[in-house]
Structure 1
Amino acid sequence: MPPGFIVGVYRSGTTLLRYVLDSHPNIAVPPESNFLNGLASLHGDEWYRKGLQGMGVDDQGLQRHLRRFAGALFDDYAVAKGKQRWFDKTPSYVDIIEFLHAIFGEQCRYIMLYRHGLDVANSMSRMYENDVNRGPGKKYADQYPGAPHLTNLRYWMEQCEKMLAFEAAHPAQCFRVKYEEYSAEPARYLPPLFEFLDEAWDPQVLEFYKQQHDYGLQDYKAEESKGFMPNTGTYQSWPEAEIAQAMEIAGPTLKKLGYLS
């Protein structure tokens, strides 16, 4: 069965969707794996590639070896769980999504998960206690000094634009999901997702909290959940001026995703 990835920015509901998929009898989704970032660095390093070329391993050969190595680890996890296929949920993989495509090929499936950018920025700011240098958006700290919401929003925009570009390039492999929709009406929005994955609908995924899952970093909130509880509009507690500035900054991306008309 084709492997796949849940692709989404941090604080976009990726863990909740991971639990949903992991509750399906055919799909195993481990905690954030992270190690593919290291393989992507190896794959993208010219010095390493030249060394391998000296051993007779060209780029296609390297991709094949990396696919076997990574696939074996995930395959073993799925087998250990008594499942037929695996998905992965690691938000940092947005940055290496083209690498994932290079090694896993056309058969791989991607669930492209989006959440309103201002809610994501609000959640990230709370998570890192407004210290942007502790989070993934730190490279924008100088652009928006003293404004963690805007700094994290800029990070969300950059990641979403990468996701949108990948969707446009590989539409047959991607299925778009919005956090606001699937968390509010899971019985409506989740069945089409499983149809895309060529999996039979199983209502037990709606009771993900009754299933056993392996827990990883940042799973504590979803672990405590007893159902689908949408968390939307959190940014509305911001000052009006900051909301207006945020909308101006993120407007183009929000429009592309249907959050603004």
Structure 2
Amino acid sequence: MKAQRQPGWRRPLAMAAQLRRRMAEPKRLPAPFVVGVNRSGTTLLRMMLDAHPELTIPPETHFIPEVIRRANHENTRRRLIRSITRHPRWGDFGLDESALRARAKQVRPLTAAGAIRCFYELYAAEQGKPRWGDKTPRYMRAMPRIARALPEARFVHLIRDGRDVALSQRERAIGGEATTMTAMAERWQRRIIAAREGATEIRAGTYLEIRYEDLVGDTEATLRLICELVELDFDPAMLEYHRRAPGRLAEMDRDLDNAENGIVRTATNR
């Protein structure tokens, strides 16, 4: 008589297989993921990081959670790539869809992580740089999911004083959200708390909180901390981000937060 297997016996086998695949993968260089509440200076930090000669940060992506979701239910090459190329943000990246598909064909099997990396690697190649990162503030709500898919992710959570964030959001009325100071302050607090709770679910040493006030007040020291997190040598070009080619600055100007011609505009008067 054959021994009966207990319910759930496949799960340990699947976990073991996943572990073996990860151990077989080459060590990947850390990739910075800049997150934070809107109007916290994340675009300024993106400009500084992108000025590094070895690192590029594309416009906000927003598609990673959807790619991961599709991989869990519809793990087919075509659908994974479509979840990137059919995203409303696709046109922001200036990439050729056929080039992404060609790159994805070289990855077998194509997982969510593989599809996502293909996108970033293609973007980095187009920019002539070897490394990539991300700046999508809303990913502060998805850090555990992203960390599971991309172990190389290093989260840089930029936190600006909630009063300044509220003032800035009220001026811009971001996303049609509630604009009373009380509502904005409460929303800021909830999101910071939620992000910190999410950070407890990811591997130690992969999450760093940076104060916006430190970024603008002691820029080099703050950038060196971030470079250490992502195993990247600091480069003085990061301090000269405003001297970038006009075309690159124009591409970033769409969601520019707090920088104009190299002058940081702060609202720190209390």
Normalized against structure 1, the TM-score is what? Answer: 0.70
Q: Which of 112, 119, 126 is equivalent to 2:171?
A: 126
Give the direction of change, closer, same or farther, for the CA distance of 1:209–1:184 in structure 2 (3 Å limit): same
Counterpart of 1:32 in structure 2 is 60
Instruction: Detail structure 1 runs of 4+ shifted over 4 Å in the superposition.
Output: none
Partner SS for 2:111: helix
Q: Which of 153, 164, 172 is equivalent to 2:185?
A: 153
Mapped pair 1:92 → 2:138: yes
Mapped pair 1:21 → 2:46: no
Mapped pair 1:172 → 2:205: yes
Q: Which of 98, 104, 127 is equivalent to 2:150?
A: 104
Tell me, yes or no, if the aligned pair for 1:184 and 1:230 is still in contact at 8 Å: no
Distance in 2 (CA, whole Å) between partners of 1:150 and 1:37 is: 30
Q: Which of 211, 215, 221 is equivalent to 1:188?
A: 221
Tell me, yes or no, if the aligned pair for 1:12 and 1:113 is still in contact at 8 Å: yes
Counterpart of 2:162 in structure 1 is 117
Tell me, yes or no, if the aligned pair for 2:47 and 2:252 is still in contact at 8 Å: no
Give the direction of change, closer, same or farther, for the CA distance of 1:225–1:20 in structure 2 (3 Å limit): same
Counterpart of 2:122 in structure 1 is 76
Mapped pair 1:208 → 2:241: yes
Name whichever of 183-192 and 224-233 sits farther off: 224-233
Q: Which of 221, 224, 227 is equivalent to 2:262?
A: 227
**1:162 Cα offset (Å):** 2.1
**1:123 Cα offset (Å):** 0.9
| Aligned-partner residue type, residue 153 of structure 1 | A
Gaps of 5+ in 1: 54-62, 142-146, 237-261
Partner SS for 2:261: coil
Mapped pair 1:66 → 2:99: no
Partner SS for 1:172: coil
Structure 1, residues 76-135: CA drift from partner, whole Å, max 9, x if none? 001111111111101121222222112102x3211121111111111111111xxx7x44
**1:220 Cα offset (Å):** 4.0
Distance in 2 (CA, whole Å) between partners of 1:179 and 1:208 is: 17
Partner SS for 1:209: helix
Mapped pair 1:162 → 2:185: no
Identity of aligned residues (%): 26
Partner SS for 1:150: helix
Distance in 2 (CA, whole Å) between partners of 1:52 and 1:75 is: 21
Q: Which of 39, 48, 63 is equivalent to 1:11?
A: 39
Gaps of 5+ in 2: 1-28, 77-108
**1:176 Cα offset (Å):** 1.8
TM alignment of 1:230-241, pairs within 5 A = 231-233=266-268, 236=270
Q: Which of 23, 27, 30 is equivalent to 1:2?
A: 30
Distance in 2 (CA, whole Å) between partners of 1:98 and 1:188 is: 28
**1:232 Cα offset (Å):** 3.1
Report the number of matched residues. 206
